[in-house]
């Protein structure tokens, strides 16, 4: 086996491990989503989305960007085999997430009356928002634990945690919604946060970390270093959270809480099948890229390899989402959500843009260019707000999907220019050809509902198209990784 194939195989294995857990999550999530839709309806789905967006900005402030900076520092030390340095970073990280988590909790409680007023035009939800402040503290501590797991590249543990998170969310949320209806939303979020903390603690404690004493001056110095890169990331995350909040206000203002629920449903489904590819980029690609960021040739190699593997794995799932969108909406939600079908189909093209652009975007993070990352995110966030407002007024609810596509056209173009400038990294002609081919396939799939009216003919052609496309892409993946069907069959039989 060539070094080229070994490299692609390594990426494929890591992605598949995360992907396996994601596929299980999908099955579990389908059950949970169906129950939420039936028990709460579009209004309930919209309410969950609004609570999430309300807490988003404060949660980001409490995070202080340590999720990204912590992983980066641990990954650097882990790559060098410096166990002492890992212990120092972990010790500082744990203290930091406690302090910032308490800050976020207190801030949420203090601002809860005004957050309820701004979001729901009344103070009816003041106590609910105040209680959810505890989820910020618990979530912050969980993030600190996950940084240790991710920074040391314990991919198998990350996959197991992902599955447990999905099981936890389902087992907790369904009874809460059944027993208490809309009032069960807050109870569910609180209980989920507690269990998430327990899961992250269980896996983080398995990693051998030396017990180390650190002085106050050293602690202050390391916190400054941790936040030096983390604060620009926090500012970016805060801006994105504010952006998400205003996006929901725009949608709620134009289409009501029911429209908010329809939009949330469409965007939840659009990314659910390819989340394993995107999650793998954060879990494995980011730490791996950080370890070779000083080598320009290696950075190019990683960007192209990750982009190709991501596209080969994600394209069949994106194709299924476009072609079988009506069945997906009916299966995961109900007939009340049929208006989400065209929004869902458009949003898939935005998800494709995300799959294509993220391998480029991670280069900026791996280089530690926090300010540049913030500026790029600020620009695209402002563009997205403008697109959402304008497209919503022009095309109604469908415009929310079109705005998402246009956002990633702009973002991808920006990343191409920025990453070429700062790291001299770019797509190879081979990768570019694959991107063009995938875009053509998905555009053709999007046009099929207008060309074929008979449901039986449509789904028959869709099935054939899906099988043929998947087969071609799997053959290319096999050539890249050296993994054959007979090898997979042999391993499964062992």
Cβ neighbours around 305 below 10 Å, total: 21
Q: How confident is the model at residue 405 (pLDDT cuts 50, 70, 90)?
A: very high
Query: What digits encode the pLDDT tens for the residues 315-340?
Result: 998 999 899 988 888 776 766 777 88
Per-residue pLDDT at 492 exceeds 50: no
The residue-averaged pLDDT of 277-299 equals 77
pLDDT surpassing 70 at residue 20: no
Q: Tell me the per-residue pLDDT of 344-360, one tens digit each, with 9 for 90 and over.
A: 899 999 999 999 998 99
pLDDT grade for 278, boundaries at 50, 70 and 90: confident
| Average pLDDT score over residue span 454-481 | 89
Residue 24 has pLDDT above 80, yes or no: no
Which residues span the domain enclosing 283? 3-493
Contacting residues for 326 by C-beta, under 8 A, at least 6 apart = 338, 341
Three-state helix/strand/coil letters over the chain:
CCHHHHHHHHHHHHHHHHHHHHHHHHHHHHHHHHHHHHHHHHHHHHHHHHHHHHHHHHHHHHHCCHHHHHHHHHHHHHHHCCHHHHHHHHHHHHHHHHHHHHHHHHHHHHHHHHHHHHHHCCCCCHHHHHHCHHHHHHHHHHHHHHHHHHHCCCHHHHHHHHHHHHHHHHHHHHHHHHHHHHHHHHHHHHHHHHHHHHHHHHHHCCCCCCCCCCCHHHHHHHHHHHHHHHHHHHHHHHHHHHHHHHHHHHHHHHHHHHHHHHHHHHHHHHHHCCHHHHHHHHHHHHHHHHHCCCCHHHHHHHHHHHHHHHHHHHHHHHHHHHHCHHHHHHHHCCHHHCCHHHHHHHHHHHHHHHHHHHHHHHHHHHCCCHHHHHHHHHHHHHHHHHHHHHHHHHHCCHHHHHHHHHHHHHHHHHHHHHHHHHHCCCCCHHHHHHHHHHHHHHHHHHHHHHHCCCHHHHHHHHHHHHHHHHHHHHHHHHHHHCCCHHHHHHHHHC
* pLDDT tens digits for range 214-233: 777 877 877 777 777 667 77
Q: Do the beta carbons of residue 297 and residue 276 sit within 8 Å?
A: no
Question: In the chain, how many domains are there?
Answer: 1
CB 42, CB 337: distance < 8 Å:
yes
At 462 the pLDDT is 92
pTM score, whole prediction: 0.70
In the block, residue with structure tokens 């801030």 = 107
Task: Lowest mean pLDDT of 18-27, 90-99, 305-314, 362-371, name the range.
Answer: 18-27
Q: Which of 63, 36, 33 is nearest to 241 (CA)?
A: 63
End-to-end, the C-alpha distance of the chain in Å comes to 22
Mean pLDDT of the chain: 82
Is the Cβ–Cβ distance between 108 and 132 less than 8 Å?
Answer: yes
Q: Closest by alpha carbon to 358, among 438, 283, 451?
A: 283
What does the block give as tokens for 426?
């770019």
Greater pLDDT, 6 or 403: 403
């Amino acid at each position: 086996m060539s070094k080229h194939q070994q490299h692609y195989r390594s990426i494929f294995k890591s992605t598949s491990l995360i992907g396996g857990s994601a596929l299980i999550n999908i099955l579990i999530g389908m059950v949970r989503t169906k129950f939420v839709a039936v028990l709460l309806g579009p209004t309930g789905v919209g309410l969950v989305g609004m609570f999430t967006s309300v807490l988003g900005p404060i949660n980001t402030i409490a995070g202080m960007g340590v999720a990204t900076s912590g992983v980066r520092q641990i990954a650097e030390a882990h790559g060098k085999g410096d166990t002492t340095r890992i212990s120092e970073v972990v010790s500082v990280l744990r203290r930091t997430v406690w302090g910032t988590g308490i800050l976020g909790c207190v801030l949420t409680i203090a601002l809860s009356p005004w957050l309820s007023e701004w979001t729901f035009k009344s103070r009816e939800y003041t106590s609910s928002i105040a209680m959810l402040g505890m989820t910020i503290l618990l979530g912050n501590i969980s993030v600190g634990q996950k940084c240790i797991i991710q920074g040391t590249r314990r991919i198998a543990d990350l996959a197991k945690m992902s599955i447990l998170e999905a099981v936890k969310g389902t087992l907790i949320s369904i009874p809460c919604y059944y027993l208490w209806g809309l009032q069960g939303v807050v109870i569910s979020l609180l209980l989920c946060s507690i269990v998430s903390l327990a899961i992250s603690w269980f896996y983080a404690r398995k990693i051998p970390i030396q017990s180390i004493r650190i002085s106050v001056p050293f602690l202050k110095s390391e916190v400054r270093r941790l936040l030096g890169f983390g604060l620009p990331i926090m500012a970016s995350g805060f801006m994105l959270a504010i952006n998400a909040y205003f996006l929901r206000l725009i949608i709620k203002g134009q289409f009501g809480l029911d429209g908010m629920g329809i939009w949330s449903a469409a965007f939840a489904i659009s990314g659910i099948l390819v989340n394993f590819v995107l999650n793998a980029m954060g879990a494995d690609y980011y730490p791996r890229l950080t370890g070779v960021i000083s080598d320009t040739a290696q950075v190019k190699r990683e960007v192209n390899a990750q982009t190709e593997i991501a596209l080969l794995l994600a394209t069949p799932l994106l194709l299924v989402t476009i072609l079988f969108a009506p069945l997906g909406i009916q299966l995961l939600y109900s007939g009340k959500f049929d208006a989400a079908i065209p929004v869902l189909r458009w949003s898939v093209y935005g998800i494709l843009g995300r799959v294509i652009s993220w391998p480029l975007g991670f280069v900026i993070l791996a280089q530690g260019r926090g300010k540049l990352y913030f500026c790029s995110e600020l620009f695209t966030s402002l563009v997205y707000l403008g697109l959402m407002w304008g497209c919503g007024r022009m095309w109604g609810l469908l415009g929310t999907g079109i705005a998402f596509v246009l956002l990633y056209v702009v973002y991808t173009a920006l990343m191409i220019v920025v990453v070429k400038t700062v790291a001299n990294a770019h797509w190879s002609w081979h990768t570019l050809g694959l991107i063009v081919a995938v875009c053509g396939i998905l555009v053709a799939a999007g046009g099929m509902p207008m060309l074929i009216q008979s449901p039986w003919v449509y789904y028959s052609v869709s099935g054939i198209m899906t099988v043929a496309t998947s087969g071609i892409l799997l053959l290319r993946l096999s050539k890249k990784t050296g993994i054959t069907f007979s090898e997979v069959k042999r391993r499964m039989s062992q």
